[in-house]
Chains A and B, each alone.
Chain A
Amino acid sequence: MTPLAGLTPAALTDALLPSAAPLQLIDPDGKPGQNPGGLTLPDPEILLELYRLMVLGRRFDRQATTLTKQGRLAVYPSSRGQDACQVGPVLALRDQDWLFPTYRDTVAVVTRGVDPAEALTLLRGDWHCGYDPYQYRVAPQCTPLATSTLHAVGLAHAARLKGQDEVALALLGDGATSEGDTHEALNFSAVWKAPVVFFVQNNGYAISVPLAKQSAAPTLAAKGVGYGIPSLLIDGNDAAAVYAAVRAGLDRAAAGQGPTLIEAITYRIEAHTNADDATRYRPDAEVQSWLDRDPIARLEVFLSQEGVLGEQATQEIAAQAEELAERTRDLMSKDPDLDPADLFAHVYAQPTASLERQRAALLAEIADSAR
């Protein structure tokens, strides 16, 4: 990306604006993309890892959807179709960086290394967050959309104040860009030059509301110029472009050049959650057209043509995906060990006298009803 210092307002505007068409390194047919912009095609081993993680992620996603049908999960918002956006940004992160996921980003959370059972704790309904954010450098999955973008900015700014090289990656969707907190997060991060990458998965719908009813901006990435933030518009079903764009944003942030806004055009193949009926607001033909732009299939074709991915590797990866699914099933088939006393344990650093009394009352109530 162009260095921004010393540019005239007009030149700065040009430098900040995204491309008119989405940047693409690999096209839907698995051929080299026609609009790479300044993005660099990742090395073959990165591409192979992107492929492997997407195959695993999609299998996990399918398993989670199945678990809702078996009553093992309360709800699951699938990210099928957004596989490149789930895996690419996470693979680009360094160990010391932070991921700020939303409720639809469970595949990203698992890709970061969080144990599947810990990642699904929220959606199983056992507790609100099942993993240690510090262990994985993954913030709790955020349900009130856009609010976590501000946490990402604060965490990143703190890192900078402390002289620590840490970048925060905030995941959000097209709907969340309408929230005030997104505006505030973009503005604060730009003013503070906070090391943040905002990654917007534009999957076309906020539950049922299409993008046309969400925003009149030429693109969501175009909003960056208003904040003084350089922005990239990319093909979100091209894992290579996703990885390269996030990598570029992380590099800028780590170099002290501030935030980057990335809009990745993608599509949510499944309904909003298992409780949603997407046929009420979008035609099947539209879904079909996006199935033809599948992010895994195109990378598989590309890697095969490049001679990087052969039959044996494909089978090995498929076997790994089945192992992950089986492990997830096993973990989720165990009934959770929940202690009602925990309800009072972490409201404050030390339970108040009042909470102690309420805990005792509940436990007595439970003991009574067990008699």
Chain B
Amino acid sequence: MTGLLSAGEQTRTGTAISAARQAPAPVTPAPVTMAAALNAALADSLAADERVLVFGEDVGTLGGVFRVTDGLAARFGEQRVFDTPLAESAIIGTAIGMAMNGLVPVVEMQFDAFAYPAFEQITSHLAKLRNRTRGLVSLPIVVRIPFGGGIGGVEHHCDSSEAYYTHTPGLRVVTPGTPSDAYRLLRQSIECADPVLFLEPKRRYWSKEQAALTSAGPAIDRAVVRRAGKDVTLIAYGAMVATALESAEAAVHEGWDVEVIDLRSLSPFDDATLTESVRRTGRAIVVHEAPGFAGYGAEVAARLTEQCFHYLEAPILRITGFDIPYPPPHLERHHLPDVDRILDGIARLQWDDNGPASNA
């Protein structure tokens, strides 16, 4: 690995964030954005493991269109952090070959819908090669995909494509809801022996959190309770975690004590944490931006119904985007689930046995 080592670690400029983390545990950590947390996770992974590579479109000199890879090429050298030609299938396909040869590629698909040219490489090869070879070929690849809407992006820049990947056995699909968890989950994903589709809620790239960055904490496949409550379990992931938390606070005024669960891992699904919560509250709503029909929420509702039926006071509802192609920027606010829509959903949970529960 001498070629790789000599290229890296030449200009250890370090960011404010990594400098803060290298200092003795600060009493009050500086606020950190999700983009900066992801950047720190990539930098720390590159520094910790010489097999790690970062590549994709515009991730080198530019530092990524969202600046998530800012400064990495300068710090670790162009052999480890580099721009590729513009071809998503090749980015995944060559990553597979590199992983077969012992490297750990962390690749970027610039936007959700731009990952579709790589769909065959992801579903037919990345997901299956371990299985095809009875475990002899392991592909520890992370595919970072900024996903979802809410940023005023024009068409093909705002898709929630998670269900395509969660429907594919062999892939792990994770998405962080907070900056500190973005750091933790990305470090865990890079260390994971399975291929991981790492969905970054682009609308939360600039949200801040005052928290130390560490990979310790919940494992890659665990959901976490972000807010404890006793009346309703609100199940969210990615960008919707913040919306769900906001809804839970608003619900207090309506007299509802809402528990918010951040799934983190969409596949595999943390049945234990979810089942425990839903059996306790007896009511649940799953929230996502993606269209509801045959969406990820349908699986959540179905499997929790199967496991919690006798504990349920109402059908498990889905609060989702409409079954439409992602809207243009000036109309997207009508599509995305928000606090009002979530509160309306909670109101429909048959508190008094009146009215239809579902809008589906």
Contact = CB atoms under 8 A, between A and B. Distances in A.
Chain A complexes with chain B:
yes
Nearest to B303: A354
Interface string B78-118: 01000011010110111111111111000000000000010
A82 to B, nearest CB: 24
B354 interface: no
Contact of A154 (B96, B138, B268): B96
A335 interface: no
A180 B89 contact: yes
Given A129-B132, A187-B90, A188-B85, A154 B137 contact: no
B183 interface: no
Interface stretch (A55-63, A133-141, A276-284, A307-315): A133-141
Dominant secondary structure at the A interface: helix
Nearest to A183: B87
Contacts of A147: 93, 120-121, 124-125
Interface in B133-151: 133-138
Contact of A185 (B90, B131, B269): B90
A158 B98 contact: yes
Given A128-B131, A162-B3, A139 B100 contact: yes
Contact of B271 (A158, A160, A342, A353): A353
B136 A184 contact: no
Nearest to B133: A129
Contacts of B328: none
Nearest to A186: B90
A181 B100 contact: no
Nearest to A163: B3
Interface residues of B, number: 50
B194 interface: yes
B97 A151 contact: yes
B97 A157 contact: yes
B31 interface: no
A201 B134 CA distance: 29
B283 interface: no
A276 B3 CA distance: 50
A191 to B, nearest CB: 6
Interface residues of A, number: 43
B96 A151 contact: yes
A150 B79 CA distance: 19
A86 B41 CA distance: 46
A144 interface: yes
Given A151-B100, A154-B97, A154-B101, A348 B90 contact: no
Contacts of B138: 349
A347 B136 contact: no
Given A184-B93, A185-B90, A158 B133 contact: no
Nearest to B269: A354
Contacts of B221: 352
B8 to A, nearest CB: 11
A150 B133 contact: no
Interface in B175-192: 192
Interface string B262-288: 000000110110000000000000000
A48 interface: no
Contacts of A140: 129, 132-133, 137
A7 interface: no
A181 B89 contact: yes
Contacts of A353: 268, 271-272
A155 B131 contact: no
A157 B130 contact: no
Contacts of B132: 127-129, 140
B169 interface: yes
B321 interface: no
Contacts of B318: none
Given A129-B133, A150-B90, A163-B3, A348 B84 contact: no
A72 B92 CA distance: 36
A128 to B, nearest CB: 4
Interface in A265-285: none
A185 B120 CA distance: 15
Contacts of A128: 128, 131-133
B271 A153 contact: no
A147 B125 CA distance: 8
A159 interface: yes
Contact of B172 (A127, A180, A348): A348
Interface string A150-188: 111111111111110010100000000000110011011
Nearest to A343: B131
Contacts of A144: 120, 124-125
B183 to A, nearest CB: 23
26 contacts: A132-B133, A134-B137, A144-B125, A147-B93, A147-B125, A151-B100, A153-B93, A153-B94, A154-B94, A154-B97, A154-B99, A154-B101, A155-B97, A156-B97, A161-B79, A163-B3, A166-B101, A181-B89, A185-B90, A188-B84, A188-B90, A188-B94, A346-B131, A346-B135, A353-B271, A354-B268
Interface of A: 127-129, 132-134, 139-140, 144, 147, 149-163, 166, 168, 180-181, 184-185, 187-188, 191, 342, 345-349, 352-354
Given A181-B90, A181-B121, 10 more contacts: A128-B131, A128-B133, A150-B97, A154-B101, A162-B4, A162-B103, A168-B97, A188-B84, A188-B94, A348-B170
